[in-house]
C-alpha cells in the first residue's frame, strides 16, 4: 500500500486551515467558499477578461503600477478574478482565496452583468462609455471599497473609479 506524499498532506492541512479561517469570517461564507472551486462562468473566465482588458485599455488608464482590484459576484465570495497593473499592462488571474487577501476594491456583479460588460468594445466609443456608466449607475456593477481614500489615490484606483462613474470627482 502506497502512503500519501508530503505534498498531499500539506495541501490537506492548507485546505483545512482555509476552511477554518473562512468559518471564522462567518459561517454563511463557508458554502460559497466551497462552491467557488466548482464555479464556471463569465466572472471567472480569465481568458475572456484578459482579452477584454487588452481591447479596452483606456478604462484602466488611471491605474498606477501595482494597483489591483477584484471582480466577484458578491463581496462575500472567496472566488473571483484579480486584475493587477503590471509594467506590461493589466494582468488577470483567478483566485479562490480572495477573503484571505487584501484587495482594496471589489467590483461585484451578477453573471448577466459580466456578460454585458464583456460585450462592450471601446471601438464604439459612445456605446462603450455609456454602457459602463449605465451598469454602474443602475447598480448592476456595485463597487465595494476596502481601503482608505489616500491608498486608492496613491495607486490610481480613485481615478479609475471616477472614470467608470463609481465615485464623484474630488472637489
Between 30 and 82, the more confident residue is: 82
Average pLDDT over residues 20-31: 49
Q: What is the mean pLDDT of residues 73-89?
A: 88
User: How far is C-alpha 162 from the chain's CA centre?
Assistant: 17
pLDDT in tens, 105-140: 999 999 899 999 899 888 887 888 889 989 999 999
Give the model's confidence band at 42: pLDDT under 50 very low, under 70 low, under 90 confident, else very high. confident
The more confident residue out of 161 and 33 is: 161
For residue 3, pLDDT beyond 60: no
Q: What pLDDT, on a 0 to 100 scale, did the predictor assign at position 166?
A: 87
To the nearest whole number, what is the mean pLDDT of the chain?
Answer: 80
In this prediction, residues 28-53 reach a mean pLDDT of 68
Domains of the chain: 40-163 (3.30.1050)
The arithmetic mean of pLDDT across residues 10-34, rounded, is: 51
Identify the weakest region by mean pLDDT among 7-16, 65-74, 101-110. 7-16
Amino acid at each position: 500500500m502506497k502512503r500519501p506524499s508530503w505534498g498531499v498532506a500539506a495541501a490537506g492541512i492548507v485546505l483545512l486551515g482555509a476552511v477554518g479561517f473562512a468559518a471564522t469570517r462567518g459561517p454563511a461564507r463557508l458554502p460559497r467558499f466551497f462552491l467557488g472551486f466548482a464555479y464556471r462562468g463569465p466572472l471567472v473566465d480569465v481568458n475572456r477578461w484578459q482579452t477584454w482588458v487588452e481591447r479596452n485599455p483606456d478604462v484602466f488608464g488611471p491605474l498606477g503600477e501595482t494597483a489591483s482590484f477584484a471582480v466577484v459576484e458578491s463581496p462575500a465570495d472567496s472566488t473571483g478574478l484579480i486584475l493587477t497593473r503590471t509594467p506590461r499592462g493589466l494582468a488577470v488571474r483567478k483566485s479562490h482565496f480572495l477573503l484571505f487577501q487584501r484587495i482594496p476594491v471589489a467590483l461585484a456583479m451578477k453573471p448577466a452583468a459580466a456578460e454585458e460588460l464583456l460585450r462592450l468594445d471601446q471601438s464604439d466609443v459612445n456605446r462603450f462609455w455609456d454602457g459602463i456608466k449605465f451598469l454602474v449607475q443602475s447598480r448592476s456593477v456595485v463597487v465595494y471599497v476596502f481601503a482608505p481614500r489616500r491608498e486608492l489615490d496613491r495607486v490610481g484606483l480613485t481615478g479609475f473609479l471616477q472614470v467608470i462613474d463609481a465615485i464623484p470627482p474630488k472637489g
